[in-house]
Structure 1
Amino acid sequence: MFPLKDTEMGASTFFASALPHDVCGSNGLPLTPNSIKILGRFQILKTMTHPRLCQYVDITRGKHERLVVAAEHCERSLEDLLRERKPVSSSRILCIAYEVLQGLQYMNKHGMVHRALSPCNILLNRKGHVKLAKFGLYHMTAQGVDVDFPIGYPSYLAPEVIAQGIVKPSDHTQCEKPLPSGPKSDLWSLGIILFELCMGRKLFQSLEIAERLKFIIMLGCVDDIVTVLAEEHGCLDIIKDLPENTIDLLKKCLTFQPSKRPTPEELLHDSLFSEVSLAYPPFHKPAGLFSSSPRCANLTLPEDISQLCKVDEDSDYLAERSIEEVYYLWCLAGGDLEKELVNKEIIRSKPPVCTLPNFLLEDGESFGQGRDRSSLLDDTTVTLSLCQLRNRLKDVGGEAFYPLLEDDQSTLPHSNSSNELSAAASLPLIIRERDTEYQLNRIVLFDRLLKAYPYKKNQIWKEARVDIPPLLRGITWAALLGVEGAIQAKYDAIDKDTPIPTDRQIEVDIPRCHQYDELLSSPEGHAKFRRVLKAWVVSHPDLVYWQGLDSLCAPFLYLNFNNEALAYACMSAFIPKYLYNFFLKDNSHVIQEYLTVFSQMIAFHDPELSNHLNDIGFIPDLYAIPWFLTMFTHVFPLHKIFHLWDTLLLGNSSFPFCIGVAILQQLRDRLLANGFNECILLFSDLPEIDIERCVRESINLFRWTPKSATYRQYAQPPRQAGDSNGTRSSMSCFSADYQEAPRSDLSRDSIKLDDLKAEVSPRISAEDLIDLCELTGPSHSKTPVKKTKPSKPKLLVVDIRNSEDFNRGHISGSINVPFASAFTAEGDLIQCPATATLQSFKGRVVVIVGNAVKNTAAFAAHLVKNKYPRVCILDGGINKIKPTGLLTVPSPQI
């Protein structure tokens, strides 16, 4: 993206063709509206960045198939030069031609042609350089098929285009398309425009359109088209005075036969421009964040380095930002594309009576309206005013646009708005995302951090814990997932064309995946879905396609719509981290273990709810499989998934358990009041979930969960130290990904799935217990002993062995509640001093320790029945602690 300093932003509008409502496609589904098709094709235009092209920014859909396009704009154009009615100098003609050819060449390399080239669409920026406007109209409308007006201006269309005429599909269900115009057709249009500039006035002004077209077709019988045009318009003297190179340029452009006419690229390298080209350095598109090319390969510094540090009080810092950022902030500051066009009377509302169809009375008198001119193209572009945005940012200091990335900034001066920003950071996320000033600071900061990725990876994690600016969410997610390297080359190397057995299922799933979204429901979106999903299936031969993979792909594709390689890379990094082996051909053991651990998490955090759900037989198998198989993308719309995954990506593979429990707790009252059938109905149409509350509660649950409580033997194995793709926990405090740490003698042991299912409460490892207990004394383990503040103990250890064993050695600070005498026959806890201590710790983590696993599991189950939260079992029992030397013996009584 180029800065906005030499141009402005503009908006234009047109209508797509309306489709009949009673026609369906070959798949039996309603036809995709043409406006949706155009919206999907438009997206690639946003990646077309070149100094000679006006940058496309956004497109929005309105009522009745109206589309509004926002793009870079300049007030002046070649039309203004023609209005001066003065011939343009030959040197200027060559410069204009060279710059237009640069833009056309870049378009042609990307498989596009302009087709609508005219003086009004060749703009001039503040420095007088050419910018081609509306160059994407022909592409986004499928060569004019999806609109009711022709693309191009009759005076400037090439003869071969005129001879073809306007071709429209006769059947909306078919994919009939006219023969597309080639790059050479733009060269004819350029020749006519250059001829007009040489002459100082427009051609064909006095002729009707039919006469113009007839005259152009007749030029095929002429050898010297330039001379004939000059004679026809009475400017032969002007043409004779032109330099030879200019005449040669016009003749090459105005070659009647397309086969003899050069392409823009061929003409650009012609000897005509040997001197002109020296003034134009070659354009190098900056290397992307994920590529094999150095990002600073084409970096140039001024001869006087001090110019970089020069401070100008009148500097327009906003104009230095990319047009994409400025437009995003403009929208946050109240900008509305349709409103701007209404204010300029480009969009006019009509009373309903004026929209009645035309009808005839018996005497032949007609009433109603004639042809609706809205189906025609109004190519007026309205300049978007930035006054409201600049007024909103008037208190933002220059340092906000150039933040320092070092940690120690306490001594640096701050702008007047720094206090307001600090206050804004504590507001709800949805308000922060709509705050113009706050988003400006976040966008600028993340932009600089991401450009320093992976060097600033840790700081990206730190800032992402606050929030992620929506404008940079896609690339930030990629950084959080540890995506690196030349992803495009890897993606291109995957065979996405050869048919495979999964193709049929993918074709069935895509039209049902988040189709409420205009982008993903477009044919372009479907094609991208198909390629990314197929690339994943082909590149992971040990895994298979399961229904739900399309939903998992949707957030990445939406955020990286113009970068399929990045969407694929993010998806490929996400699945091993959170869904390791979920897509095996036989994944039953993985799913069952996952659901069992989730069931234990419900009992750990909300025993009352767990007891009720177990009593009515409403087990996680009935509702939670779509949650975890798609990481909630099948459950929530995309806008909620974005906020949920902003936090999910900062956690580890155990964080989804906490999200699931948080969802259940939002529905807690309704679940506790209902039986099995009502719960089934409740989850068949899940009620509205407050996603911000869900995220907030998930983080709290995550912090209270001992890291080994979510251990799964089928989870992703630990990565080697220094692996850039290794997972990490940014929520710190209590929980971390257990699989990250190297295994030791104090780690959790794997157990059979049936044994795991038999236990209500989760197990924790001995190293977790050592870390979290208030222990002193030597440690013979490799795990460092951490001391916690005695005023706020994190947990209570309950030793259920008999008193004799307890007195021979126990964990410091633990209490002894012998299993044999702890509960009544009805399962109630017997009151005694030790159980009173246990009750006083209700709400904190309670670890049950004993000799026999069967007894500790039964004791924990009794506590859960008595609604004790955060109950867990020490894996391996007291025998795991004995080798550490941390057991204490009470002093003898004197």
Structure 2
Amino acid sequence: MLPLGKGQLGVSTFFASAHPHDKCGSNGLPLTPNSIKILGRAQKLKTITHPRLCQYIDFARGKNERLIVVVEHYEDNVRLAAKEGRLSSPNKIKKLAFEVLLGLEYMNKHGLVHRALSSHNVLLCPEGKAKLSKFGLYHMTGGGADVAFPIGHPQYLAPEVLCPGPPVDTDVYDDTEMDMPLSGPKVDVWALGMILLELCIVRTLYMYLCIDNLPEDLRAILQLCLTVSPSKRPSPSTLLQHEVFAELSKAEPPYKNNIKLFSVELRCKDLELPEFDGRIEIDDDLLAGRRFDEVYYLWTLAGGDLEGELKRKGIIKPKPAVFMLPTVVAGEEGETFGHEKERKHLLDDTTILLSLEELRQRLENIDDTAFFPLLEDERTTSPISPSGNDLSETQSLPLVIRERDIEYQFHRVVLYERLLKAYPYKREHIWKEARVDIPPLNRAHIWAALLGVEGDVQGCYDAIDKETPQLIDRQIEVDIPRCHQYDELLSSPAAHAKFKRILKAWVFSNPHLVYWQALAFASLSAFIPKYLHHFFLKDNSAVIQEYLAVFSHLIAFHDPELANHMESIGFIPELYAIPWFLTMFAHVFPLHKIFHLWDTLLLGNSSLPLCIGVAILRQLRDALLSYGFNECILLFSDMPGTDIEKCVQDSINIFCCTPKSATFRKHARPPPKPKNGQRKFPASYYSTDYHDQPRTELSREPLTLEELKSEVSPRISAEDLIELCELKGPSPSKSPTKKSKTSRPKILIVDPDLSFSRGHIPSSINIPFNTAFSPEGDLVPCPAVSSLQQHKGRVVVVVGPKGGRNTYNFANQLVKLNYPKVVTLHGGIDALRHTGLLTVPPATL
């Protein structure tokens, strides 16, 4: 979006037409409210940015099919200027026509038609430039089909609009029933001609007309614009090529809106800097340099209320319910009569201004340098928040409070805006800041940056065939209406169409994969390979079963009591966890919770979803431990309220307390091969997977599914053991699993005494398996068992001979005794024989 500059925020409102209560669609379901349809189509208008168009900023849906539109606005317009005689010069009129045509041409390139063009909808900014307002009304209302009022002003409507032909069969506006043909770009050329005619005669239209004294070039433009036959009338792009506008075209710098945030091309290739004339203009209004969407976002945080503003200005007038009662209710269908005719369903073209004074007062104590944060200083390459010291206390507050703190959000939004402009070169800094939090305004672009999106994304997407009918179309059409339909935007036909195109593009780009039910909108090409590699193969049984087996290991590692109870009642992960991981929790939580969950999910590696699953179970722990099988099924069929912030924090703690090799999977994504010329960015411990590390003789090897299912505890690699126990001294990149000396793992050798005496790991204890447990399954008391009990709660590494089943049986038995954090060493003691780390006790005489 463009910066605020000298513009203002304007608000207007109108009503969509309501469906009859007893009317249903062809599928037997209630019809989608027209206000929902309008809201879905309107989202496209936010992406249309041009100097000659007023920027659409936001759309909101109110009660009784009310739509509220927030848009860039100026108080001056062509009608006022004409009354005051400021547009009487032929050159000014030609310049105005040229600027209007530039806006119309850009609209037409994006498939838009104004249809409501009039002298009071052509606004004039303080510099005198024209900007078209209300240009999206015709598009968002489905060509006027979803509202009870006509689109356009009668005196400016083209003949083909006033006398339309038969309706055309089109699906441009989804399932809207059109009762008249759609208007094309040439209707706006006629409206422009009528506006120019008003300016030329400087009189109210349809009064005494005299154009004999007009300059020849203006007369030529008027004759072209007011050509009755639309087939002979030029389009805006054709009219711009007329010789009348030749000089203006040369003087007009070309509009360049091809800077793509995630492009790897040189963005400053065509940059032209203006010549410095020695004068420096300093604008004290720093807020004017922020984008419209940023200013509006901060305005809402400062207490802004759209409906409240409309009520204060008298646009919304509450009416007592008693005055809305009908006089007569007749018939079986309850048809009503005697209402006072409602005028609210007609268009009120008034636009009110939103005052920014409250926002400026809330930001007046912020230092001017905060508007221009430095990303680096001479001593460090870390991003610097200008008032970081002041914000440190706010960062410790709950996320919900931080998202409502206007000063905190201001600093975060401004910082992220600069970091995103420097993407991908500041990718590492974006990761670092995202670990703190992600402001809702920037979430979409930050998620894309965290997923490593680069290149000509739009070009790649456009090149994919998304229209040819496929076998999966029917299943997609059935599944999409099940996806978060309580959300107004996601329930709109426009959103359904976009979802379908995205899913079809994904299936087309991955022919070896198939569409699965409930894939939902999480199926993004950058997201699937990282977190759901091979989950959507035609035969994905082995992948899912391995994933769930590792999940079971993590439950036993962090909460053995819960794992034992769920196993005893037969409540296995296959019964509840598959939808969690197939959709990455998109169908478990409502959208506002998913946003916060994914803010953290995208920062972790492919094992973080497993930790989130464990965190969910731990929140439900008390209920699960007291429930039987049937109660657990009911609990998960209707998930209770979950504290998502606690879930996120618990999942991070679980992730940090889990050795990385414990989540190793055979079917995880292999390390990506670097492409030619691709930059390699340093990755943190948290964002890299275990299989991304260089392979050594100490690394873990994949296990068969049978081996995974036969073991209760996870395995760790020898290199993880060496790092966790610091057997080779302090490591420069220690795993967060070991936070202090007192939390070092306890190594438990289960070899017979003879093997223990031939070499063991320093500080380890020996409890031979054949004498460790009593017939009841309890540990037989001995000094080694006492030492083990003293270290209960710390990581316990069970080590035995390579391939020996006693090692895994010992670990399984410890889990049954509710010992947490039990793991086994992959490869056994033999994995360490060539490291020189084993010690031999002194011989006894």
Report the TM-score when normalising by structure 2: 0.94
Aligned residue number for residue 328 of structure 1: 297
1:681 is aligned, of 626, 634, 637, to 634
**Counterpart amino acid of 1:241?**
N
Alpha-carbon offset, residue 736 of structure 1: 5.4
Match for residue 824 of structure 1 among 753, 761, 774: 774
Distance 1:86 1:884 in 2: 89
Q: How does 1:46-195 map to 2 (within 5 A)?
A: 46-84=46-84, 88-164=88-164, 175-195=177-197
1:234 to 205, 208, 212: 208
Q: Which moved more, 1:770-779 or 1:116-125?
A: 770-779
- The secondary structure found in structure 2 opposite 1:182 is coil
1-structure distance, mates of 2:199, 2:725: 85
* Cα separation, partners in 2 of 1:292 and 1:177, compared to 1, 3 Å: farther
**Compared CA separation, residues 785 and 810, structure 1 to 2 (3 A):** farther
> How far apart in 2 are the matches of 1:657 and 1:727?
25
Query: Residue type matched to 1:742 in 2?
Result: P
Q: Does 1:472 align with 2:442?
A: yes
CA shift in 2, pair 1:408/1:608, >3 Å = farther
Alignment of 1:713-732 (within 5 A): 713-720=666-673, 730=684, 732=686
Q: Which of the numbers 830, 834, 839 marks the counterpart of 1:883?
A: 834
Query: Match for residue 450 of structure 1?
Result: 420
Deviation string, structure 1 residues 451-503 (Cα, Å, up to 9, x no partner): 11111111111111111111111111111111111112211221112221111
CA 1:512–1:715 in structure 2 vs 1: closer, same or farther (change >3 Å)? same
Deviation at 1:360, TM superposition (A): 11
Corresponding residue for residue 404 of structure 2: 434
Deviation at 1:607, TM superposition (A): 0.5
Q: Which of residues 522, 529, 546 in structure 1 aligns to 2:499?
A: 529
Letter in 2 for 1:257: S
Which residue matches 2:786?
A: 836
Task: Please name the residue that 1:300 is paired with.
Answer: 272
Task: Decide whether aligned partners of structure 1 residues 787 and 114 sit closer, same or farther in structure 2, where only a CA change above 3 A counts.
Answer: closer
User: Offset of 1:174 from its aligned partner?
Assistant: 6.6
1:32/1:681 Cα in 2 relative to 1: closer, same or farther (>3 Å)?
same
**CA 1:552–1:411 in 2, change beyond 3 Å: closer, same or farther?**
closer
Return 121-130 or 285-294, whichever deviates more.
Answer: 285-294
**Structure 2 partner of 1:207:** none
Is the partner of 2:670 in helix, strand or coil? coil
The DSSP-based 3-state class of the residue aligned with 1:717 is: coil
- The within-5 A match list for 1:860-871 is 860-871=811-822
Structure 2 CA distance for partners of 1:752 and 1:811, relative to 1, 3 Å:
same
Partners in 2 of 1:824 and 1:26 — Cα distance?
70
- Indicate how the Cα distance of structure 1 residues 247 and 532 shifts in structure 2: closer, same or farther if over 3 A, else same: same
In the TM superposition, residue 538 of structure 1 has moved relative to its aligned partner by 1.1
Q: Which moved more, 1:582-591 or 1:195-204?
A: 195-204
Deviation at residue 773 of structure 1 after TM alignment: 1.3
Contact 2:522 2:584 in 1 (8 A): yes
- In structure 2, do the counterparts of structure 1 residues 360 and 459 end up closer, same or farther at CA, with 3 Å as the change threshold? closer
Distance 2:439 2:59 in 1: 21
How far residue 806 of structure 1 moved from its aligned partner, in angstroms, is: 1.1
Aligned partners of 2:783 and 2:822: how far apart in 1?
19
Does the aligned pair in 2 maintain the 1:150–1:166 contact within 8 Å? no
Amino acid at match of 1:630: T
- 1:246 counterpart residue number: 218
Q: Does 1:267 align with 2:220?
A: no
In structure 1, C-alpha distance between the alignment counterparts of 2:740 and 2:578, rounded to whole Å = 41
After superposition, give the CA deviation of every residue in 1:401-459 in whole Å (9 maximum; x if it has no partner): 11111155789999995543221111111111111111111111111111111111111
CA shift for structure 1 position 776: 3.8
Distance 2:617 2:198 in 1: 72
The amino acid that maps onto 1:657 is: L
Match of 2:750 among 789, 800, 809: 800
Question: Which moved further from structure 2: 288-297 or 90-99?
Answer: 288-297
Amino acid at match of 1:868: Y
Q: Distance in 2 between matches of 1:703 and 1:411?
A: 25
Match of 1:691 among 644, 656, 676: 644
Give 1:425's aligned amino acid.
Q
Distance 1:802 1:19, change over 3 A: same
Cα separation, 1, equivalents of 2:499 and 2:543: 27
Separation in 1 of the partners of 2:780 and 2:613? Answer: 34
One-letter code aligned to 2:296? Y
- Measured after TM superposition, the shift of residue 853 of structure 1 is 3.1
Query: What is the match of residue 641 of structure 1?
Result: 594
Q: Give me the whole-angstrom Cα distance separating, in 2, the residues matched to 1:630 and 1:721.
A: 28
State the one-letter code of the partner of 1:804: L
Percent identity of the aligned residues? 60
Give the aligned partner of residue 485 of structure 2: 515
SS of alignment partner, residue 60 of structure 1: strand
Q: Which residue of 2 aligns with 1:352?
A: 321
Q: Deviations over 1:102-128 (max 9, x none)?
A: 111111111111111111100001111
Deviations for 1:795-846, whole angstroms, at most 9, x for unmatched residues? 1111111222112111112111221222211111222221122112111111
1:664 to 599, 617, 623: 617
For residues 379 and 144 of structure 1, what CA distance do their matches in structure 2 show?
15
Q: Residues 652 and 728 of structure 1 are in contact (CA less than 8 Å); yes or no, is this contact kept in structure 2? A: no
**Who is 2:333 aligned against?**
none
The match for 2:726 is 774
The answer to whether the 8 Å contact 1:650/1:730 transfers is no
Distance in 2, matches of 1:778 and 1:303, equals: 58
Distance 1:250 1:688, change over 3 A: same
Query: In the alignment, residue 81 of structure 2 is paired with which amino acid?
Result: L
- Look up the match of 2:351: 381
SS at match of 2:603: coil
Judged with a 3 Å threshold, the aligned counterparts in structure 2 of structure 1 residues 277 and 174 are, in CA distance, closer, same or farther, namely: closer
Specify the SS of the correspondent of 1:884: coil
Q: Which moved more, 1:445-454 or 1:412-421?
A: 412-421
Query: Are 2:166 and 2:181, in contact at CA under 8 Å, matched by a contact in 1?
Result: no
C-alpha separation between the residues in 2 aligned to 1:276 and 1:539? Answer: 46
Q: Which of 431-440 and 598-607 deviates more?
A: 431-440
- Within 1, Cα distance between the matches of 2:454 and 2:441? 20
**1:609 match:** 562
Indicate the RMSD between aligned Cα atoms, in angstroms. 2.9
How far does residue 731 in structure 1 lie from its aligned partner after superposition? 6.0
Q: 2:264, 2:455 within 8 Å by CA — same for their partners in 1? A: yes
Contact 1:62 1:68 in 2 (8 A): yes
* Aligned CA distance change for structure 1 residues 286 and 386 (closer, same or farther; 3 Å): farther
C-alpha separation in 2, matches of 1:786 and 1:465 = 16
Cα distance in 2 for partners of 1:621, 1:787 equals: 28
SS in 1 for 2:525: helix
Deviates more, 1:593-602 or 1:314-323: 314-323
AA matched with 1:178:
M
Unaligned runs of 5+ in 1: 205-232, 554-570
Instruction: Summarize the Cα distance change of 1:360–1:27 in structure 2 as closer, same or farther, 3 Å threshold.
Output: closer
> C-alpha separation between the residues in 2 aligned to 1:395 and 1:139?
42
5+ residue gaps, structure 2: 331-335
Name the counterpart of 1:846. Answer: 796
SS in structure 2 at match of 1:504: helix
In the alignment, the residues of structure 2 paired with residue 452 and residue 710 of structure 1 have an alpha-carbon distance, to the nearest angstrom, of 34
CA distance in 2, matches of 1:870, 1:412: 35
TM-score by length of 1: 0.89
SS of equivalent residue, structure 2 residue 57: strand
Moved more, 79-88 or 599-608: 79-88
The one-character-per-residue Cα deviations of 1:67-94 (angstroms, maximum 9, x if unpaired) are 0000000010112123336761111111
Match of 2:693 in 1: 741
Change (3 A) 1:425 1:177: farther
With over 3 angstroms needed to count, the CA separation of the structure-2 counterparts of 1:52 and 1:673, relative to structure 1, is same
Amino acid at match of 1:332: L
Per the alignment, residue 476 of structure 2 pairs with 506
Partners in 1 of 2:180 and 2:472 — Cα distance?
33
Corresponding position of 1:220: none
Q: Which residue of 1 aligns with 2:656?
A: 703
